[in-house]
A and B are shown apart, each in its own frame.
Chain A
Amino acid sequence: MAQKLLEVKDLHTVFHTEDGTVEAVSGVNFEVYQGETLGIVGESGCGKSVTSLSIMRLLPKQTGEITKGEIIFKGKDILKLPENEMRHVRGKEIAMIFQEPMTALNPVYTAGEQVAEMVELHLGMSKKDAYNYAVEMFRKVGIPMPEKRVYNYPHELSGGLRQRVMIAMALSCNPSLLIADEPTTALDVTIQAQVLDLMRKLLKEYNSSLIMITHDLGVVAEIAQRVAVMYAGQIVEYGDVVTVFKNPSHPYTIGLMKAIPRPDVEVERLISIEGNVPDLFHMPKGCRFNNRCPYAIDKCMEMPPLFEVEPGHLSRCWRYKEIKDLLKKEDGVDVGRG
């Protein structure tokens, strides 16, 4: 088996707000192996972005705080590193790609300068070498006319090109781990296909690992080998992509899969999950999904642990063993629809 690159252990992240302290991430555990892609999928407010900011230690200083847990990267707990050492990890060892390239890029520097700055800082290149390197990186991520594009400011580039600049920047120091937070959500579908294709190619070339954070199950299915489904600050299901999609064992995962219309299969009617995502101030007691779950029983007033459904496949549901039979009885619908 490939080497374990990152291990997140019992991560708790809180935010101190005017109305009190809320826990956005409550005890998240996962690992990322060398060269693999882990998808973290969930709806807005489930804590997927806060998890990634915690790994990068980029939480807002005044309000965000990691209260518990370890983040072991290459055998070292990076939560214990002093800020100046963390700065060498950030960008060089772990790089991040953000959703909105327009706000993530600095509008007063050219695209080339921003890539060059990374390699000057982390690899100690001279200004001239760094510029040539930036051109090389631009070519690698498929930006046409890279010699010219390095002199463009972000606002002069299209959304797809900006996201390519972000990818060039993230990959410029050859990091072992990339974290991409909804990198294709702001892009059109034909451009999304280009960017995903490019990322897949480059990950292979660099043998880097990727944490892909997204709300789109389609994107996860296309790019990830393993997936963590998050709901209300916790991982509710975790495992190999094929297993989780074919044999989902948490009612929330099942609900999500039934709720989204598919491009390749027609259904008469979507089956929606009733109600809304709970807000962080008013978490339901016990299992956090119990107020929306069609299979909730009395036992669900207690918080379920992550059960092992099969080796490597975890589900945070008391009824994980019966859930398949319950579904079959209910409507004869094939859950994975496969």
Chain B
Amino acid sequence: MTLAEVKSIQTTQNQSKNDQILLEVKNLKKYFPIKAGVFRSTVGWVKAVDDVSFYIKKGETLGLVGESGCGKTTVGQTILRLIEPTGGHVFYNNVDLFKLSKGQMKKYRSKLQMIFQDPYSSLDPRMRVKDIIAEGLKAAHIGNTKERYEKVRDYMQRVGVSPTYMNRFPHEFSGGQRQRIGIARALVLNPELIVADEAVSALDASVQAQVLNLLDDLQQEFHLTYLFIAHNLSVVRHVSDRVVVMYLGKVVEIANKHEIFSDPLHPYTKALLSANPIPDPTVKRKDRIILQGDVPSPANPPSGCRFHTRCWLAQPICAQEEPKLEEVHPGHFVACHFWKNLEDQNK
């Protein structure tokens, strides 16, 4: 039995013991207005996130993957109400976050934290590192200045940045160290859920591995739940327990990672996997799928199934009727009229 198999059995056992849902996203919608003319009147809507539903179990890492413009970042930001949603619900421990007032939301802010993509623009260049990390504590009125800096020291140590550097400014650190500082800033508030939006995409390969390992260690130590948003499938495969695949504002497939990677049931997922370059020149790709054309604009998405313009399995019905996200196997959701054909092909 390989190590991966042992781990997969262990995770299933853990899951049956601990299937508590921490966060549930229901019919989430976020439309951005398109304004034009002298009076900036609204001429249309970009449906960045259109009726998205999924849940995150306590202690797991849920990967959210898709290409640029698919709405994955908007999902992350609306869950935390960094931008206000157009519709839907987000239940955190059975509390609907979208129904809370701004003041009530404040109480939940420390439990839901975010790590951003760009370690250069996500840290205020005029603040010292200790103040960047302590800012959340200050906003939440936790401790006095001395206690807060004590905590800063502690958490800098934990993420692997020497606390002797706490008086320095962000520009004095490398990209990897800055990302660690961003992680410390999120962690210091003792959160339950961390939304990591492309947290390692700006880092070089060798440093990326350091940060991924750190996130893994911290999850064990602090029992964290991650929503890990990324475009890189290899990274998502490495960190996630389950994976949500998005295309043009819609969820097209949800499954645990083993099923997503070995038995994808949505043609888009399959194409995405097939397009991912494998760092091994001797691997021969059979039936390589290269999608034609570009991702359509979310301001004017195709009718029916939004993927039908690029799909090699598309039939007339795909242009007319939008497929529903259905649970086709336990825990495996897919939104495609012809997922059965793909399943047969996979065999």
Question: Which residues of A are at the interface with B, using a C-beta cutoff of 8 A?
Answer: 43-44, 144, 158, 160-161, 188-194, 196-197, 215-222, 241-242, 245-246, 255-264, 266-274, 276-277, 336-338
One of B16-24, B27-35, B232-240, B326-334 contacting the partner: B232-240
A-facing residues in B268-292 (Cβ within 8 Å): 271-283, 288, 290-292
Are A189 and B276 neighbours in the complex by a CB distance under 8 Å? yes
Q: Verify if B4 is at the interface (C-beta below 8 Å from A).
A: yes
CB distance from B232 to the nearest CB of A (A): 8
The CA-CA distance from A261 to B290 in the complex, in Å, is 22
* B216 lies within 8 A of A261 (CB): no
Q: Which of A188, A216, A219, A263 contacts B295 (CB 8 A)?
A: A188
Contacting pair B290 A194 (CB below 8 A): yes
Q: Are the C-beta atoms of A189 and B280 separated by less than 8 Å? A: no
Q: Does A259 contact B67, Cβ atoms closer than 8 Å? A: no
Q: Could you list 7 A-B pairs, sorted by A, with CB under 8 Å?
A: A44-B204, A189-B276, A216-B277, A218-B278, A221-B277, A262-B278, A276-B177
List B residues 246-303 near A (Cβ within 8 Å).
Answer: 261, 271-283, 288, 290-295
Asked whether, in the complex, the Cβ of B234 is within 8 Å of the Cβ of A260, the reply is yes
Output the least CB separation between A236 and chain B (Å): 13
> Is the interface on chain B under 10, 10 to 19, 20 to 34, or 35 or more residues?
35 or more
Q: Are B282 and A277 in contact (CB under 8 A)?
A: no
Among candidates A196, A274, A338, residue contacting B282 with C-beta atoms closer than 8 Å? A338
Q: Is the CB of A221 within 8 A of B275?
A: no
Q: Are A43 and B205 touching (Cβ within 8 A)?
A: yes
Q: Using known A-B contacts A43-B206, A189-B233, A256-B205, determine if residue A194 contacts B291 with beta carbons closer than 8 Å.
A: yes
If A192-B275, A215-B204, A269-B216 are given as contacts, then 18 extra A-B residue pairs at C-beta distance below 8 Å, sorted by A number, are A43-B206, A188-B67, A189-B233, A190-B272, A190-B275, A190-B290, A190-B295, A192-B277, A193-B290, A255-B206, A259-B206, A261-B212, A263-B276, A267-B238, A272-B207, A273-B206, A273-B209, A273-B210
Q: Flag whether B174 is at the interface (Cβ < 8 A).
A: yes
Is B68 among interface residues, defined by CB-CB distance under 8 A?
Answer: yes
B209 contacts A270, C-beta separation under 8 Å: yes
* Interface residue? B208 (CB, 8 A): yes
Q: Which residues of B contact A245 (CB under 8 A)?
A: 279-282
Contacts of B237 in A (CB 8 A): 261, 263, 266
Contact of A161 among B4, B278, B281, B294 (CB under 8 A): B294
- The answer to whether B231 has its CB under 8 Å from any CB of chain A is yes
- Please give me the residue from chain A that is nearest to B3 by CB atom: A268
Q: Could you mark each residue 188-224 of chain B with 1 if its beta carbon is under 8 Å from any beta carbon of chain A, else 0?
A: 0000000000000000111111101100100000000
| Whole-angstrom CA separation of A188 from B291 in the bound complex | 12
Q: Looking at the assembled complex, report how far the CB atom of A33 sits from the nearest CB atom of chain B, in whole angstroms.
A: 17
State the CA gap A266–B280 with chains docked (Å).
14
Of the listed residues A216, A220, A222, the one surrounded by the most CB atoms of chain B closer than 10 A to its CB is A222
Is A276 a contact of B212 with CB atoms below 8 Å? no
B176 interface residue per 8 A CB criterion: yes
In angstroms, Cα B67 to Cα A191, docked, is 10
Identify the closest chain B residue to A243 (Cβ): B281
Contact yes or no, A263 B206, CB < 8 A: no
With the chains together, A216 CA to B279 CA distance in Å? 8
B126 in the interface (beta carbon within 8 A): no
A270 and B290 in contact (CB under 8 A), knowing A215-B205, A222-B277, A277-B204? no
Contacts of A197 in B (CB 8 A): 290
Within 8 A of A (CB), among B11-70: 67-68
Residue from the list A221, A259, A266, A268 in contact with B278, Cβ < 8 A: A221
B189 to chain A, nearest CB (A): 27
Contact at A272–B68, with CB atoms within 8 Å? no
Residues of A within 8 A of B238 (CB): 261, 266-267, 270
Pair B205/A189 contact, Cβ less than 8 Å? no
Determine the residue in chain A with the shortest Cβ distance to B276.
A263
CB distance from A281 to the nearest CB of B (A): 14
The reply to whether B275 and A193 form a contact with Cβ atoms under 8 Å apart is yes
Q: Does B347 contact A (CB under 8 A)?
A: no
Alpha-carbon gap, A158 to B206, bound state (A): 31
Point out the residues of chain A lying under 8 angstroms from B278, CB to CB.
218, 221-222, 262-264
How distant is A253 from chain B, measured CB to nearest CB, in Å? 11
Residue of B nearest to A244 (CB): B281
> Which residue of chain B has its CB nearest to the CB of A188?
B67
Taking CB as reference atom, which chain B residue is nearest A252?
Answer: B206
In chain A, what residue has the closest Cβ to B174? A276
Q: A194-B291, A259-B208, A261-B235 are in contact. Are A269 and B213 (CB under 8 A)?
A: yes
**Is B102 close to A, CB under 8 A?**
no
Which chain B residues border A193 with CB–CB below 8 Å?
Answer: 274-275, 277, 288, 290-291
Interface contact A259-B209, CB-CB below 8 Å: yes
Q: How far is the CA of A97 from the CA of B178 in the complex (A)?
A: 31
The 3 closest A-B pairs by CB, nearest first: A218-B277, A272-B209, A261-B238
Alpha-carbon gap, A273 to B209, bound state (A): 8
Q: Is B107 an interface residue (CB 8 A)?
A: no
Q: Which residue of A lies closest to B211 (CB)?
A: A272
Is B7 an interface residue, CB under 8 A from the partner? yes
Q: Contact at B279–A257, with CB atoms within 8 Å?
A: yes
| Residues of chain B with a CB closer than 8 A to A270's CB | 209, 212-213, 238
Chain A contacts for B261, CB-based, 8 A: 263
Bound CA span A62–B231, Å:
39
Establish whether residues B275 and A276, one from each chain, have CB atoms under 8 Å apart when the complex forms.
no
Alpha-carbon distance A216/B233, docked complex (angstroms) = 14
- In angstroms, how far is the closest chain B Cβ from the Cβ of A41? 10
CB-based nearest A residue for B295? A188
Q: Please determine whether B290 and A188 come into contact, CB atoms closer than 8 angstroms.
A: no
CA distance A262 to B233 in the complex (A): 9
- Tell me the bound Cα distance from A158 to B68 in angstroms: 12
Q: How far is the CB of A23 from chain B (nearest CB, A)?
A: 20
Contact present for B234 and A262 (CB under 8 Å): yes
Residue of A nearest to B70 (CB): A188
Counting chain A CB atoms within 10 Å of each CB, the highest count among B176, B210, B212, B294 belongs to: B294
| Residues from chain A with Cβ under 8 Å of B288 in the complex | 193
Which residue of chain B has its CB nearest to the CB of A262? B234
1/0 per residue, CB under 8 A from A, across B155-176: the answer is 0000000000000000000101
